[in-house]
Structure 1
């Protein structure tokens, strides 16, 4: 290309880093709040562990993208020397690995979260969730070894000057990339819409059902990002031997946005206890726990060190358990709130108010 036809020496790397690290900061805050909320209700589970892993992978991916940008990522190849070109190409491939792992672990986290909500029932939905969790993990993880074994030696993937190197036909990985991106979009859509098929059956008020359905459906945003990313895949394939450091900007940005939204959206539904505690001023100590089987039985909760002569009765199942109650004076009534939930999984359906001077069971 003649010097007169060269594009301007622009650098989109700083923009990329600013966006990536801003997303990393927000997702870190969201995951931290999620872990705190679950710890407060003693409800930490495998879905929290997997989303924590996803956050670690995302932060690692941001770090690798930073190194790529420092070596010319986001600039036109015409203004990079040979060493910068090789480093930018190499780290472009390497930095994709943790982002792909975010897709796998975040989908596993969402699947595990929904499994906790539906409990032991609905075998069909459980089968769908387990299938998505396993298949998405395998398909996403598989792209990593396939990427680096397509050329022998692997360095020939970004260094075409190596003599005697052999590589697979480019269409093999390109077709797998399209399949991978389409399958991720499909999984995101299923995970976003599946909760709407059973939440309306849960024993909670209508407003709570609407909010829970909406928050669990936020994964559609990640699906949209995945769909947009597909259109840039062909553009990137055509630029592999041309201005790849510049053209890869679009797909890398959308890939990062998809990973971020998977983490962010999966955390939103789990923050309900914090919202209830600090905004609506009530604590739902059972949110996120596996719901118990419905029962007409009544269990007695005996308050420890309570000023009430007799403990209140809550419809919680068939087991007799003890918990610590606090008495909050509200005019002529006392609102009872379970502060320290017992080890057993208790499903509190309502918070009752009783007259302070009455010993009558409610």
Structure 2
């Protein structure tokens, strides 16, 4: 068996993916602050996902330095201990929680589009809760599988450990749950967007952007299959390389897939110049208009419904008697004649109070930010 070293390839893949994910997340946060004008819980969660992913990659870099990616027979005992130690520390908890934060972040992002749909909200909350509980449970089980945590990488530390098949089966269960949720988050946007009254072109674009979790799903499947390599202790430092590669792909693809849909307002800002008041609205039954009110400073959108009520009042000039009509007429430049007064009432309502979601131009809504 040749003394090969695939460690540099592992690091090249890790840091390339980390760099791409970092750029995407930075652009996302810039978009939320400068274009949309708000930073939500999904944005904070994606920052946590990126931070934990970078910690995982940094620790894995140290593991590769000590021998991960090389056949175990070419390593000194001290190198083996250090390599396995930093790989374990990289995976637990950082390699576990990074994609978890990304999936939970994307679930909160989709919450903005479901309106008052209780089934959709329940589904997304199920993803959030199960993701958190299942991955936290996996991390705890890894911590307690040995009487002394250090005995996982150092044979000189004596203590009882579970049968190796138990953590392997836990890894399979965790991978199955994560894969199912990736698949669910891939197709859920189809059901969320299908009933929205938006242009077909915009709907197709949004579905494509929101369905990028399919790539995370593929990575999760392959990583779960590679879990079996963790039991091959006779050449652990080399055979575990495929698991590390796909774990990293799952981490950063989940982060990128959860962030790309949030970049659309920035792209639209390059092609659409904001104005103080957008006149693109449709007439609703009863003479009501619906549309979007643009604020040139904050660039935030406010959902609005405006109704016009014209009240005609006929008044004649007469001696003042202290009435309200006299006071109004006193402010007019002409004392005689008929005055027509038009009262315009604009009612503002928050998105979460609107029953259902109706949009005639999702381009405008996405330009200023998604539903609150």
Where on the TM-score scale, by shorter chain, does this alignment land: which range? 0.7 to 0.9
Q: Work out the CA distance in 2 between the residues paired with 1:303 and 1:25.
A: 35
How far 1:231 moved relative to its partner? 2.0
- The aligned counterpart of 2:101 is 105
Q: Work out the CA distance in 2 between the residues paired with 1:216 and 1:172.
A: 36
The alpha-carbon distance between structure 1 residues 76 and 181, as it changes in their structure 2 partners (threshold 3 A), is same
Cα pair 1:103 1:140 within 8 Å, conserved: no
Q: Work out the CA distance in 1 between the residues paired with 2:53 and 2:249.
A: 11
- The aligned counterpart of 1:21 is 15
Cα pair 1:299 1:319 within 8 Å, conserved: no
The alpha-carbon distance between structure 1 residues 206 and 348, as it changes in their structure 2 partners (threshold 3 A), is closer
- The aligned counterpart of 1:267 is 259
| Partner SS state of residue 25, structure 1 | helix
How far 1:281 moved relative to its partner? 3.4
Q: 1:228 aligns with which of 222, 225, 239?
A: 222
Cα pair 2:293 2:303 within 8 Å, conserved: no
The alpha-carbon distance between structure 1 residues 221 and 295, as it changes in their structure 2 partners (threshold 3 A), is farther
CA deviations over 1:60-82 (Å, ceiling 9, x no partner): 11111111111111111111111
Cα pair 1:69 1:88 within 8 Å, conserved: yes
- Structure 2 unmatched ranges of 5 or more: 277-284, 297-301, 309-347, 352-357, 363-372
Normalised by the length of structure 1, the TM-score is 0.77
Q: 1:251 aligns with which of 224, 227, 243?
A: 243
**What is the 5 A alignment of 1:152-167?**
152-163=147-158, 165-167=159-161
- Structure 1 unmatched ranges of 5 or more: 1-6, 286-293, 306-313, 321-342, 352-362
Does residue 281 of the first structure (1) align with residue 272 of the second (2)? yes
CA deviations over 1:139-175 (Å, ceiling 9, x no partner): 1122222112111111111222334x11112222111
Q: Work out the CA distance in 1 between the residues paired with 2:295 and 2:121.
A: 39
- The aligned counterpart of 1:310 is none
Does residue 215 of the first structure (1) align with residue 203 of the second (2)? no
- The aligned counterpart of 2:79 is 84
CA deviations over 1:279-304 (Å, ceiling 9, x no partner): x335699xxxxxxxx99744799999
Q: Work out the CA distance in 2 between the residues paired with 1:257 and 1:302.
A: 41
The alpha-carbon distance between structure 1 residues 46 and 297, as it changes in their structure 2 partners (threshold 3 A), is farther
Q: Work out the CA distance in 2 between the residues paired with 1:227 and 1:296.
A: 54
**What is the 5 A alignment of 1:109-148?**
109-119=105-115, 121-148=116-143
| Partner SS state of residue 304, structure 2 | coil
When Rg is computed on C-alpha atoms for both structures, the one with the higher figure is 2
Q: Work out the CA distance in 2 between the residues paired with 1:58 and 1:167.
A: 28
User: Which protein has greater RCO, CA pairs closer than 8 Å, 6+ apart?
Assistant: 2
Count of aligned residue pairs for this structure pair: 302
Q: Work out the CA distance in 2 between the residues paired with 1:126 and 1:274.
A: 27
The alpha-carbon distance between structure 1 residues 243 and 29, as it changes in their structure 2 partners (threshold 3 A), is same
How far 1:193 moved relative to its partner? 0.5
- The aligned counterpart of 1:355 is none
- The aligned counterpart of 1:67 is 62
The alpha-carbon distance between structure 1 residues 35 and 302, as it changes in their structure 2 partners (threshold 3 A), is closer
Cα pair 2:146 2:160 within 8 Å, conserved: yes
The alpha-carbon distance between structure 1 residues 304 and 259, as it changes in their structure 2 partners (threshold 3 A), is closer
- The aligned counterpart of 2:88 is 93
